[in-house]
Amino acid sequence: MPVPLLPDLVVTGATVVSHDGRREQDIAVRDGKVLAVGDGLATDGVPTVDATGLLVLPGLVDMHVHLREPGMTEKEDFASGTRAAAAGGVTTVADMPNTSPPVATAERYRQKLDLVSSKAYVDFGLYGMIDHDNDGEIAGMAELGALGFKLFMGQTTGDNRCPNDAAIFRGLEAAAAAGLVVGVHAENDHLLRMFGDRLRACGRTDPRAHLEGRPAFVEVEAVTRIITMATESGTKLHIHHLSTAAGLRRVMALRAEGHQVSVETLIAHLFLDDSAYDIHGNLVKLNPPIRPAADVAALWNGIARGDVDIIATDHAPHTAEEQGEPDVWKAYGGFIGVETMLPLLLTAAAEGTLTVEDIVRLCAYRPAQRWSISGKGQLTPGYDADFVLVDPTAQTTLDAAALHSKHNVTPYHGRSLTGSVVATYLRGQLVYEKGEIIGGPGGRQVRPVREISSAAV
Ligand SMILES: [Zn+2]
């Protein structure tokens, strides 16, 4: 009989929630990985965390954040953004490439990786960008560990030139050859610009003009076009921040024809509707926009039916001054969210809108599976010991001042919450506990396993 390995940490008494169920079990950790999950794992002389009455979830994997480094660090940087993630129970973030300069070449990818690697408080992946003429750079970025590629079909922060359909198709082919997922911002750029010009010509500068300038069919058209092309090129396709009932209906119709695509919804599109413009003004400007309540209901129904694969934050910080801009055309899109995702979802779970198992599936298990990130998204022996201790009954009020981003302006300030993050562990190390960040930046780059073809769409 081999001598069983001693753990270096044991969590006892908690209810361990996975994507497909929950059980009261102990978790033993050794060398940053889950050693065992089971009963009676507490061992003399081994540090023990008594988590009686708490839930233990796999650390969340947020596939959509903008940490603004390099080039926009007045808004956020890798240290502040990943501290916010740790405080929100998010142990892996996937950072978008529309920084300044944008990450559209292998050289820029390497520069960004060198710049941010020592600053991360949680694990991170970096996306590359598909731009109007960089299909020759895709393989090089993949070699450096690109988690996947982001394609902006519609204009957003950074005002990167949107590729035409031929450039898109070449980018899709290159990503397919690299075995990586392409995630898309699916709105038709030409139509967005035309509707924006019309509204400006009418003298509109109010927050709702942004919604009126981005009607649902603009998303439907782009979704249809990109799914059609991705099937033809054999590319693993993911739709970021799908925002409309009509968009989701079109995805389901195309899936019924055999097209394979994963779908993400954002916390903001689930927890805010267009009444937010009257309360928060341009703070809630978002691309795609915050939609009417009927769209919000359709997205929740899509989650309940299992049609939506992933929930993400689109954590998109701007300075407090920028967030107060009154002219909708000058205002930036997006706001922070990586720290508030889990408390908001736990509150929805307490209200019966979804289950905590659903949260684990949508925010940890499926993201890790879809992007082939090994060792994440589950608390199974051999997996990274990334986990969150959650008090599911704690009653609090969301306080923007307590958040860890550089600028803590959030439309969720003052919301009543049921459920809070007590502590976050990254590869067995305590990184956050009761309001405080513990220790220094120990996050590492995560790379996708490119041999694994995506079994799960
Ligand atoms: Zn985004």
Distance from residue 46's CA to the centre of ligand 1 (Å): 43
Q: For residue 362, what is the DSSP state?
A: I
Q: What is the DSSP string of 224-242?
A: HHHHHHHHHHT--EEETT-
User: How many Cα atoms occupy the beta-carbon half-sphere of 68 within 13 Å?
Assistant: 22
Contact 221, 245 (CB under 8 A): no
Q: Thinking of the domain 9-56+381-393+414-437, which architecture would CATH place it in?
A: Roll (2.30)
Task: Please give the pLDDT value at position 166.
Answer: 96
> Minimal CA–CA distance to 366: which of 56, 127, 149, 61?
61
Distance from residue 223's CA to the centre of ligand 1 (Å): 16
C-alpha 359: how far from chain center:
13
Task: Please give the pLDDT value at position 66.
Answer: 98
**Class of residue 3 by CB neighbours under 10 A (exposed 0-12, middle 13-18, buried 19+):** exposed
Both structure tokens of 121:
């408080």
User: Given this chain, do its domains 9-56+381-393+414-437 and 59-370 carry the same CATH topology?
Assistant: no
Distance of alpha carbon 128 from alpha carbon 130, whole angstroms: 7
Distance from residue 395's CA to the centre of ligand 1 (Å): 30
Largest interatomic CA distance in the chain? 80
Dihedrals φ, ψ of 190, to 5°?
A: -60, -40
Task: Please give the pLDDT value at position 231.
Answer: 98
Tell whether domain 59-370 is in CATH 3.40.50.620: no
Distance of alpha carbon 378 from alpha carbon 175, whole angstroms: 27
Distance from residue 43's CA to the centre of ligand 1 (Å): 45
Distance from residue 178's CA to the centre of ligand 1 (Å): 23
Dihedrals φ, ψ of 126, to 5°?
A: -120, 130
Distance from residue 106's CA to the centre of ligand 1 (Å): 21
Distance from residue 2's CA to the centre of ligand 1 (Å): 49
Give the number of other CB atoms < 10 A from CB of residue 420.
Answer: 20
Task: Please give the pLDDT value at position 4.
Answer: 75
Distance from residue 288's CA to the centre of ligand 1 (Å): 9
Task: Please give the pLDDT value at position 364.
Answer: 98
Distance of alpha carbon 122 from alpha carbon 162, whole angstroms: 31
Distance from residue 8's CA to the centre of ligand 1 (Å): 38
Distance from residue 98's CA to the centre of ligand 1 (Å): 9
Query: What are the extents of the domains in the chain?
Result: 9-56+381-393+414-437, 59-370
Distance of alpha carbon 212 from alpha carbon 166, whole angstroms: 29
Pairing of strands 387-397, 55-58: antiparallel
Task: Please give the pLDDT value at position 124.
Answer: 98
Amino acid in the structure at residue 456: A
Residue 455, C-beta contacts closer than 8 angstroms, at least 6 positions apart: 369
Distance from residue 401's CA to the centre of ligand 1 (Å): 24
Residue 257, C-beta contacts closer than 8 angstroms, at least 6 positions apart: none
Dihedrals φ, ψ of 159, to 5°?
A: 50, 45
Given a cut of 50, the residues of the chain with pLDDT beneath it are 452-457
